[in-house]
Structure 1
């Protein structure tokens, strides 16, 4: 076994997470939809290898590429805080196949209120699963709170979509095509904070540079959740804003009028093309291990940290979630 493997730190990402491009490469790796096809046995084996490596025990003959692949599978399927296997639909690697199918249908079936209601409901159900799966696991949420978050986000999306749908009946058709994005953006601004409300109420654990816990901060939770909301809206924006423009022009051609039954599959495929790139790019907008200056923390937490560590902790760190 090579000496470089025996001292390998498997928790250090393969690419520099302090740079945007490094994070994009990392999330291209983690959100790779092909990991959805990996068997449960292989995922469990990858987790066992990751945990063994963390303990300083690497099976003889294991090389770095095998360790990198095991960490890729681990990051794609297991929660970063709890280490528990995430449900398949809630994994970020499912965003491309799941998101492309639902978004394609939202963009195609936007003309009637029943269709708008159905597909917005499907989308918010999907979002609720994703948000719950990728919450900060250190902040448990009750079934009642999950229900309230789901109901509120779905109601917000439906009210936005149906309201704008009716409002744009006499407006240019392109505006009506943008209604689904407005509904998705509005719902994300409600769904994510509500699904992670315990973090806002109780704060999330912040650590020093060496991952030593320093306390809980509500301001860190606000920063992390805000970043996640921005990332989710950015993830959907290019496909849901640019694709309606593309379809608006394509549908004017005679050949497109002859194949109207294929418009929904076409939009779904095009949405998938956008999401393949936008899922990792949106996830990479902000560092996963986010930071906040000591001076921006709550006064009592700041004083507690200064009392214990003096001026040695200028910044604290936390997992922002996805």
Structure 2
């Protein structure tokens, strides 16, 4: 071992207390920082070497704790937690804001014609499929069939919802029609996420005691985890898809916007981006990543197993996913 930095820093966990909303918010502001998309391959490789060496007990001379944590979050932003492989650029959490602001901004701008609605809903669900594939679990990998079923189902659900609501809003005020893309995205999330995680709903997800000892697999925990993720995903879309339409509805009545209609899309994308910079990490932080539930809420057979193997355990913990 070389260097002066202690090897006792637990870089498997977050730097901030994940038991509080503020701690989780700080964590996700770092994880979703869009500036990480611009990092060079050399910077990513340096972070990887720093983290992997630290895990082996090797500390680079002069490395500080702040630099170690910075390397950890750079590493986490680009490399898969289970396989260690470099993830697809547009599928990384740090790409969520720039990608979503572009796609969502265009969905909110080009909502008036049926071809535009179909095209942008398809683009959005294609992006979601890339994100879900990139962030797949190494323990329960997503098969091609599962990915395809979730993709087709979510895309169909989003397009059908958008077109159905679009037809219903023909005789309503224009501001109402602007919220059709949000309804479509919310519907797609309710379809896509459960489909993508159907294996968990069928076989359960690992649950542990407070010390991380595995106690079994629970479908009840999987249901709670998926509901929390759906709520978070829809919550992320609310500010970005609810606030800009109201602002744009007012701006488009101004002489300046009427004179330069080409500014509609760039202004809308910028407004969406501003909302997403805050909404993405704050909504990820709504629920602890390491979620929990009472043993009494689990399946009867698992409750019985836990009472036999760990009689003092009253609460179990599990990774809810993102």
Aligned to 1:14: 15
d(CA) in 2 for partners of 1:86, 1:214: 31
Does the 8 Å contact 1:290/1:320 carry over to 2? yes
| C-alpha deviation, 1:133, in angstroms | 2.5
**Match in the other structure for 2:317:** 317
Are positions 1:57 and 2:43 aligned together?
no
CA offsets 1:191-211 (integer angstroms, 9 cap, x no match):
011011111111111222222
Residue equivalent to 2:183 = 182
d(CA) in 2 for partners of 1:254, 1:52: 60
In the TM superposition, structure 1's runs of 4+ consecutive aligned residues that sit over 4 Å from their partners are: 1-4
CA displacement at 1:289 relative to structure 2 = 1.2
- Secondary structure of the residue aligned to 1:57 is coil
Distance (whole Å) between structure 2 residues aligned to residue 15 and residue 8 of structure 1 = 12
- The separation in 2 between residues aligned to 1:174 and 1:113, in whole angstroms, is 17
Q: Deviations over 1:79-126 (max 9, x none)?
A: 334443322111111111100100010000000000000000000111
Secondary structure of the equivalent of 2:6?
A: helix
Post-superposition CA distance 1:110-157 (Å, at most 9, x none)? 000000000000001111111232343322222112111110100000
Partner of 1:16, secondary structure, is coil
Moved more, 146-155 or 84-93: 84-93
Q: How does 1:212-227 map to 2 (within 5 A)?
A: 212-227=213-228
Shift of 1:263: 0.4
- So what's the TM-score if we normalise by structure 1? 0.95
* Alpha-carbon spacing, 1:172–1:148, altered in 2? closer, same or farther (3 Å): same
Q: Which residue of 1 aligns with 2:33?
A: 32
Residues 51, 296 of structure 1: alpha-carbon distance in 2 compared, 3 angstrom cutoff: farther
Q: Is the 8 A contact 2:5 2:59 kept in 1?
A: no
Distance 1:126 1:250, change over 3 A: same
Counterpart in the other structure of 2:303: 302
Show the counterpart of 1:167.
168
Find the counterpart in structure 2 of residue 149 from structure 1. 150
Deviation at 1:272, TM superposition (A): 0.5
Partner of 2:200: 199
Question: Residue 116 of structure 1 corresponds to which residue in structure 2?
Answer: 117
CA distance in 1, matches of 2:44, 2:5: 24
**Could you state the TM-score of these two structures normalised by the residue count of structure 2?**
0.95
CA distance in 2, matches of 1:227, 1:136: 17
Unmatched tracts of structure 2, length 5 or more? none
Q: Any unmatched runs of 5+ in structure 1? A: none
**Residue 137 of structure 1 corresponds to which residue in structure 2?**
138
Alignment of 1:222-233 (within 5 A): 222-233=223-234
Separation (CA, whole Å) in 2 of partners of 1:261 and 1:158: 26
Contact map agreement 2:154 2:189 (CA 8 A) in 1: yes
